């Protein structure tokens, strides 16, 4: 049967090719925006950093923190929270549009969310928050940027942001230097409690743009089963005098017939920190040379030890190959008693119900999970958790920028304040009730109302508190007290490398983690280690090193002047 | 015909049992886990076929706060209105393109087929939706996918396959195009329309990506988007320090999955009798 509209493949393809080329250019052009400023290597000016002033609203911690980053620990919640912000910081402001990523299911909307309503009442304005799942955030962010649709205040994605971040920030975002640098941050006392180390990564192209959602500095080195370690004769982690002792312990704890293994998933970070390997880069101040972690003898030793552990069968079968997407599975091996160690961040310890402490008590009361610390006399801790992320403010007039910084200041309210209570526990009687000790306990509605990610507008180092376990707070505080003094300075953060900014936590990280899994699992011989280093350097590592070194030299010239 | 041997029959039975098990086991595991306690999930390292401590906690959590119920309603609304709109638009377009005397029909058909070969990409689509004023509206979930080129081709081929004499007879009786479509063509096309309706309904029911791109307000999210956040919760990016995100409650994820699967599963049996006939019709036509 013939038809006047018969399909002709050739004409269809011709049409497709011509139009396809035209369309293909569109997203590229759109994505460029007007980010004309090219990112350059350079030293970050210390004068841009806001001055750190610890926040004190009159609470006395049960376990005091330190200026170096050990958080305060509390056993009870204040009966009468006090305000940490004067008045309504957004009074008279027009509606704020915000975009934040979330790690939780969506909360009930404003109309059904008592906490949201109470926070807006206290702020003095409406805040419309677009909440995006963390995994989808890079896609959403790209379309927002390309469509020139960025919110008044937004989080920057961990991966998949603009290729030229400094250019994007200069073109689209408010320069916060005039509002926050040096003593000026004192107008925002909650933000002033953020450490300089956390602010450092908010500097791009010689200006301060990012407000940190800061953390204790180190994410720790995972968790171990104290009861199993004690059965094997290790009553205290101090008994593990070196990595060799840890290896022997792991072999001892591995009993496949009992379905018990020493490790679940990776232990490379624990081993590398225990040997004293640097965090990403080591800077030798005298020579001005940057050395990649993979190039150091300490990191190589860590890989060799990890291989030895794998060969001895110490990893729970299949767990080493698991990715972040399978986190529940590999942490589950630890939680259900099949593994004696797992690498995870310390913030996951005290989380009510699903944190290690509560979840494992539900499986077996004998399980005694505790935070691990690096092993041996050469041990260091990596500054890998200075900030969860950063928030940026869209270009606007000074009045609006100040309002949005005030919103971040409100979100960064310290433990025990009225603002902190509203953000974390919602409205008393609706979202939380007080237990016998006077501690707030979330109601069912509260568990949903409080997942609105207000705390991601900005944060100082979070304090430690648990309604269910004083012992847990003590364990965590003790671990931080041991780890924070071991923490290396993040030296390279003082210098800008556009290559590192775009590839360091993206393609280079993937190359490294995949390569290490191949080596540790024995899929590749140890001789392939050198090739991994070469590939890493060839695919951007060497370029990043050159840029860091240029930045260092530039910094020295500035200082000399 | 050769009589089947007993070993042959046994092998076939075994193969079929394995195939059925491969399909049924995950479904049962999803349902079982949705009724499991957190302790059961941890002890079972993830999926639980038969929970030791069955509980409705996961369903209580899911329905608490109204997020899932609201999303369910949004999904039903989008699926029903989107399917009706898409089927109507596709029928209209397919009918027009199946007639010989429609001006520019060749160009319009080529333009529609072009979308099968080349997708404009996320950002041009986003810009178009924004410029049309559809951003953050339910219409943004329907308009960009209103007509599927594949469904259009299937339906057009079916219409072209109907005997020309039927059209001619209707015309002789004084029927216009609209009446021919309504009284002659559609009654003969129930099977194929049922099938494309199902295709559209499943597409709308499962769609989350347009909601992610075009909706700012999470109160407007359809169920797949909410389901996605439940499934992804607790994941941290590979490059980030672990521990910030909570490990998700597997039973809650599975409860949302059950709630998301059941409505669309209920539609299948009613449409299955049309399915084979409808899909095969027009499959060999260009």
Assess whether pLDDT exceeds 80 at residue B148.
yes
Tokens of A125: 């304005």
Which range is least confidently modeled, A368-372, B28-32, B118-122? Answer: B118-122
Chain-chain contact of B114 with A506 (C-beta, under 8 angstroms): no
Q: Is B20 exposed, middle or buried (0-12, 13-18, 19+ CB in 10 A)?
A: exposed
Assess whether pLDDT exceeds 90 at residue A63.
yes
Strand partners, A459: A213
DSSP A77-104: --SS-B-SS-S-TTTTPPPEEEEEEESS
CA distance A370 to A227: 10
Is residue A373 left, alpha or beta, with left meaning phi > 0 and alpha meaning psi from -120 to 50?
A: beta
Assess whether pLDDT exceeds 90 at residue A35.
no
Asked whether the beta carbons of A273 and A343 are under 8 A apart, the reply is no
Residue range B13-19: mean pLDDT, rounded: 94
User: Residue A12 — very low, low, confident or very high, per pLDDT cuts 50/70/90?
Assistant: very low
CA nearest A99 in B: which residue? B216
Q: Name the CATH superfamily for A90-216+387-463.
A: Periplasmic binding protein-like II (3.40.190.10)
CA distance A224 to B3: 64
Which range is least confidently modeled, A112-121, A506-515, A547-556, B211-220? Answer: A547-556
Assess whether pLDDT exceeds 60 at residue A476.
yes
Helix B149-161 × helix B105-117 angle, to 10°: 140
The domain that holds B88 is classified in CATH as 1.10.3720.10
As its CATH architecture, domain A223-382+488-560 has: 3-Layer(aba) Sandwich (3.40)
Largest CA distance in chain B: 76
- C-alpha closest to that of B68 among B202, B221, B244: B221
Q: Is A122 exposed, middle or buried (0-12, 13-18, 19+ CB in 10 A)?
A: middle
- The C-alpha angle A217, A220, A222, rounded to 5 degrees, equals 160
User: Residue A24 — very low, low, confident or very high, per pLDDT cuts 50/70/90?
Assistant: very low
Domains A90-216+387-463 and A223-382+488-560 share a fold: yes
CA distance A243 to A271: 7
Rounded alpha-carbon distances, angstroms, from residue B186 to A102, A298, B179, B183, B194: 48, 75, 10, 7, 11
User: Residue A28 — very low, low, confident or very high, per pLDDT cuts 50/70/90?
Assistant: very low
- Provide the whole-model pTM: 0.81
Residue range A312-341: mean pLDDT, rounded: 88
Chain-chain contact of A332 with B45 (C-beta, under 8 angstroms): yes
Q: Assess if residue B160 is contained within a domain.
A: yes
Q: Please state the domain extents for chain A.
A: 90-216+387-463, 223-382+488-560
- C-alpha closest to that of A170 among A80, A40, A316: A40
**First CA to last CA distance, chain B:** 37
DSSP B221: -
Tokens of A301: 């030793």
A344 touches chain B (CB under 8 A): yes
Strand partners, A392: A154
Residues of A in contact with B211 (CB under 8 A): none
Q: Which domain holds residue B150?
A: 67-226+256-280
% of residues, chain A, pLDDT over 90 = 58
User: Residue B240 — very low, low, confident or very high, per pLDDT cuts 50/70/90?
Assistant: very low
Closest-CA distance of chain A to residue B138, Å: 16
Q: Assess if residue B84 is contained within a domain.
A: yes
Residues of B in contact with A336 (CB under 8 A): 42-43, 45
Which ipTM was obtained for this model? 0.76
Asked whether the beta carbons of A529 and A297 are under 8 A apart, the reply is no
User: Residue A41 — very low, low, confident or very high, per pLDDT cuts 50/70/90?
Assistant: low
B17 touches chain A (CB under 8 A): no
Asked whether the beta carbons of A302 and A275 are under 8 A apart, the reply is yes
Q: Assess if residue B6 is contained within a domain.
A: no
A522 touches chain B (CB under 8 A): no
User: Residue A177 — very low, low, confident or very high, per pLDDT cuts 50/70/90?
Assistant: very high
Closest-CA distance of chain A to residue B126, Å: 7
Residue range B195-211: mean pLDDT, rounded: 91
Is residue A76 left, alpha or beta, with left meaning phi > 0 and alpha meaning psi from -120 to 50?
A: beta
A343 touches chain B (CB under 8 A): yes
B105 touches chain A (CB under 8 A): yes
Asked whether the beta carbons of A388 and B243 are under 8 A apart, the reply is no
Question: What is the three-class DSSP state of A289?
Answer: strand
Rounded alpha-carbon distances, angstroms, from residue A99 to A144, A155, A156, A399: 10, 7, 9, 20
Helix B67-98 × helix B250-280 angle, to 10°: 20
CA A472 to the chain's CA centroid: 22
Residue A106: predicted pLDDT:
80
Residue B1: predicted pLDDT:
63
CA distance B115 to B118: 5
Residues of A in contact with B247 (CB under 8 A): 327-328, 331-332, 348, 354, 359
Question: What is the three-class DSSP state of A438?
Answer: coil
Residue A561: predicted pLDDT:
41
Residue A401: predicted pLDDT:
97
Q: Assess if residue B115 is contained within a domain.
A: yes
Assess whether pLDDT exceeds 60 at residue B116.
yes
CA distance A168 to A162: 7
Which residue from B97, B124, B248 is facing A23, i.e. has the nearest CB? Answer: B124
Residue A322: predicted pLDDT:
85
A373-387 pLDDT, tens per residue? Answer: 999 999 999 998 888
Assess whether pLDDT exceeds 70 at residue A32.
no
């Amino acid at each position: 049967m013939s038809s006047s509209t018969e399909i002709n493949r050739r004409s269809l393809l011709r049409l497709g090719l011509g139009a396809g080329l035209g369309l293909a250019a569109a997203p590229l052009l759109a994505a460029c925006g007007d980010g004309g400023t090219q990112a350059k290597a350079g030293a970050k000016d210390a004068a841009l950093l806001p001055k750190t002033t610890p926040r004190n609203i009159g609470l006395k911690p049960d376990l005091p923190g330190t200026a170096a980053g050990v958080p305060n620990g509390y056993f009870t919640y204040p009966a009468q929270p006090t305000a940490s912000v004067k008045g309504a910081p957004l009074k008279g402001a027009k509606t704020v549009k915000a975009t934040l990523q979330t790690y939780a299911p969506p909360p009930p909307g404003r109309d059904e969310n008592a906490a949201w309503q109470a926070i807006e009442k206290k702020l003095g304005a409406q805040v419309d928050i677009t909440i995006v799942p963390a995994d989808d955030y890079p896609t959403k962010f790209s379309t927002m940027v390309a469509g020139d649709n960025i919110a008044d205040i937004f989080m920057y994605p961990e991966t998949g942001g603009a290729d030229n971040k400094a250019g994007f920030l200069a073109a689209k975002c408010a320069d916060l230097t005039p509002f926050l640098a040096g003593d000026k941050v004192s107008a925002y006392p909650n933000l002033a409690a953020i450490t300089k180390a956390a602010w450092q990564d908010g500097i791009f192209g010689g200006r301060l743009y990012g407000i940190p959602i800061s953390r204790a500095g180190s994410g720790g080195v995972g968790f171990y089963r104290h009861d199993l370690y004690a059965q094997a004769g290790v009553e205290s982690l101090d008994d593990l005098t070196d990595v060799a002792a840890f290896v022997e312990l792991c072999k001892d704890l591995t009993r496949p017939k009992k379905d018990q293994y020493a490790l679940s998933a990776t232990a490379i970070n624990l081993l590398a920190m225990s040997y004293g390997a640097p965090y990403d880069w080591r800077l030798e101040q005298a020579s001005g040379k940057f050395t990649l972690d993979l190039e150091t003898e300490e990191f190589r030793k860590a890989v060799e030890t990890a291989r030895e552990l794998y060969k001895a069968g110490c990893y729970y079968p299949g767990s080493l190959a698991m990715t972040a997407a399978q986190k529940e599975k590999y942490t589950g091996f630890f939680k259900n008693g099949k593994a004696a160690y797992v690498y995870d961040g310390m913030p996951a310890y005290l989380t009510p119900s699903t944190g290690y402490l509560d979840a494992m008590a539900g499986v077996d009361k004998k399980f005694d999970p505790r935070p691990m610390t690096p092993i041996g006399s050469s041990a260091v801790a990596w500054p890998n958790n200075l900030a969860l992320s950063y928030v940026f403010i869209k270009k606007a007039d000074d009045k609006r920028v100040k309002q949005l910084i005030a919103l971040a200041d409100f979100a960064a309210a310290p433990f025990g304040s009225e603002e902190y209570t509203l953000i974390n526990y919602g409205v008393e009687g609706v979202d939380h009730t007080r237990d016998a000790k006077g501690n707030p306990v979330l109601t069912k509605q509260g568990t949903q109302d409080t997942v609105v990610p207000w705390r991601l507008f900005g944060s100082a180092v979070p304090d430690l508190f648990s309604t269910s376990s004083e012992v847990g707070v003590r364990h965590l505080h003790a671990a931080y007290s041991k780890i924070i003094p071991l923490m290396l300075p993040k030296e390279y953060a003082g210098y800008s490398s556009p290559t590192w900014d775009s590839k360091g936590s993206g393609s280079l990280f993937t190359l490294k983690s995949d390569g290490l899994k191949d080596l540790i699992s024995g899929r590749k011989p140890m001789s392939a280690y050198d090739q991994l280093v070469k590939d890493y350097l060839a695919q951007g590592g060497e370029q990043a090193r050159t840029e860091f070194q240029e930045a260092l030299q530039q910094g020295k010239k500035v200082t000399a002047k | 015909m050769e009589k089947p041997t007993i070993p042959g029959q046994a092998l076939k039975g075994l193969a079929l049992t394995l195939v059925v098990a491969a399909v049924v086991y995950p479904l049962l595991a999803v349902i079982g886990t949705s009724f499991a306690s957190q302790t059961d999930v941890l002890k079972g390292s993830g999926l639980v076929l038969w929970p030791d401590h069955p509980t409705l906690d996961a369903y209580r959590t899911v329905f608490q706060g109204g997020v899932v119920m609201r999303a369910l309603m949004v999904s039903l609304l989008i699926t029903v209105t989107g399917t009706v709109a898409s089927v109507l638009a596709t029928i209209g377009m397919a009918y027009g393109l199946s007639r010989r005397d429609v001006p520019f029909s060749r160009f319009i058909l080529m333009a529609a087929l072009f979308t099968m070969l080349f997708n404009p990409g996320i950002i041009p689509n986003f810009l178009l939706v924004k410029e049309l004023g559809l951003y953050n509206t339910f219409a943004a979930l329907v308009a960009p996918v209103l007509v599927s080129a594949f469904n259009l081709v299937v339906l057009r081929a079916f219409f072209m396959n109907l005997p020309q004499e039927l059209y001619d007879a209707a015309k002789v009786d004084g029927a216009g195009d609209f009446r021919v479509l309504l009284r002659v063509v559609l009654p003969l096309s129930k099977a194929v329309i049922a099938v494309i309706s199902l295709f559209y309904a499943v597409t709308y029911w499962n769609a989350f990506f347009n909601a992610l791109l075009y909706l700012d307000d999470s109160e407007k999210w359809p169920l797949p988007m909410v389901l996605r956040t439940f499934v992804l919760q607790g994941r941290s990016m590979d490059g980030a320090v672990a521990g910030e995100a909570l490990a998700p409650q597997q039973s809650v994820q599975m409860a949302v999955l059950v709630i998301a699967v059941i409505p669309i599963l209920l539609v299948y049996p009613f449409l299955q009798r049309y399915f084979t006939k409808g899909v095969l019709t027009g499959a060999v036509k260009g």
